[in-house]
């Protein structure tokens, strides 16, 4: 089952976003978003876009589009700006909260962009941004350098293809860390944690032993599960294996 993602080119139409010396954020974001989407498509990701032309849609409409499409991830691409020109440069990513796979994706994207030459300003929680708050799937907003930084613009223009590849690589890195669960209703739960560090540790330990383990996030818990299995019998078999290996287990279905 391929992953699906909705890419959002920030701003558009009557909303130019940040502007610096005639350069408009909405143009940079559209060009870059389309380039990132092409690379992801070539890697068998199912890519959808909020816009592929210079049109306006509110952030709320964009979030609703992603929810209706039922995509696995939402990534919004922007350029940053600072009150003073040429005072700050670098990339930063924004997420609703600093946890889960969205945080991993944001960090992966930042790390990849850092390797292209950007200063890495880190990941920040922005719980009030509509595209992060109203989307039902993990969502990341990446600010690809400051539009009022000549350094960042030079990097953006001279390394455009590398930057598109870096963002795509950051997204793909995240998918590889978290294999897509196969369709099925039964899973064997091996742990439930409030702290994602412990969940990640257990998932890595299980994956190292070739168990199809993954994390399901919900209600403030990170649940480590193995599966999915199409039948209860298959889940019971797996549960026996895990119990023999010393794990405390629980079969869950949905």
> Closest CB to Zn ion among 79 and 187?
79
90 binds Zn ion (CB under 5 A): no
Instruction: Please enumerate in sequence order all residues whose Cβ is within 8 A of that of 115, keeping only pairs 6 or more positions apart, or say none.
Output: 166
Q: How many residues contact Zn ion, by CB under 5 A?
A: 3
Q: Quote the CA–CA distance of 208 and 213 in Å, as a whole number.
A: 10
Q: Which of 68, 143, 205, 239 is catalytic?
A: 143
Q: Quote the CA–CA distance of 146 and 252 in Å, as a whole number.
A: 47
Q: Can 143 be counted among the known catalytic residues?
A: yes
10 binds Zn ion (CB under 5 A): yes
CB of 29 to Zn ion, least distance (A): 7
CB of 15 to Zn ion, least distance (A): 9
12 binds Zn ion (CB under 5 A): no
Interface region with Zn ion, contact rule CB under 5 A, candidates 10-18, 54-62, 125-133, 243-251: 10-18
> Closest CB to Zn ion among 125 and 236?
125
> Closest CB to Zn ion among 142 and 168?
142
> Closest CB to Zn ion among 10 and 191?
10
- From 62, 78, 102, 134, residue interacting with Zn ion (rule: CB under 5 A): 78
Q: Quote the CA–CA distance of 252 and 149 in Å, as a whole number.
A: 52
> Closest CB to Zn ion among 17 and 37?
17
CB of 117 to Zn ion, least distance (A): 21
- From 6, 8, 17, 37, residue interacting with Zn ion (rule: CB under 5 A): 17
Residues forming the active site? 143
Instruction: Give contact residues for Zn ion (rule: CB under 5 A).
Output: 10, 17, 78
């Amino acid at each position: 089952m391929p992953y699906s993602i909705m890419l959002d080119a920030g701003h558009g139409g009557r909303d130019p976003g940040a502007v610096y010396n005639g350069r408009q954020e909405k143009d940079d974001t559209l060009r870059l978003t389309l380039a990132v989407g092409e690379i992801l498509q070539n890697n068998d990701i199912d890519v959808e876009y909020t816009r592929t032309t210079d049109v306006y849609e509110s952030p709320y409409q964009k979030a609703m589009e992603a929810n209706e499409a039922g995509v696995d991830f939402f990534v919004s691409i922007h350029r940053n700006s600072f009150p003073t020109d040429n005072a700050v440069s670098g990339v930063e990513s924004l997420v609703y909260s600093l946890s889960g796979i969205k945080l991993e994706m944001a960090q992966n994207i930042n790390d990849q962009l850092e390797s292209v030459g950007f200063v890495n300003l880190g990941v920040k929680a922005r719980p009030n941004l509509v595209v992060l708050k109203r989307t039902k799937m993990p969502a990341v907003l990446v600010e690809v350098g400051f539009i009022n930084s000549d350094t960042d613009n030079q990097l953006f223009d001279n390394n455009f293809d590398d930057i598109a590849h870096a963002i795509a690589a950051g997204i793909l890195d995240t998918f590889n860390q978290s294999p897509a669960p196969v369709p099925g209703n039964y899973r064997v739960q091996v742990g439930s944690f409030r702290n994602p560090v412990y969940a990640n540790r257990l998932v890595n330990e299980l994956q190292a032993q070739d168990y199809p383990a993954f994390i399901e996030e919900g209600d403030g818990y990170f649940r480590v599960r193995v599966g999915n299995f199409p039948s209860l019998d298959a889940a019971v078999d797996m549960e026996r294996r895990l119990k023999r290996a010393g794990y405390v287990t629980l079969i869950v279905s949905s």
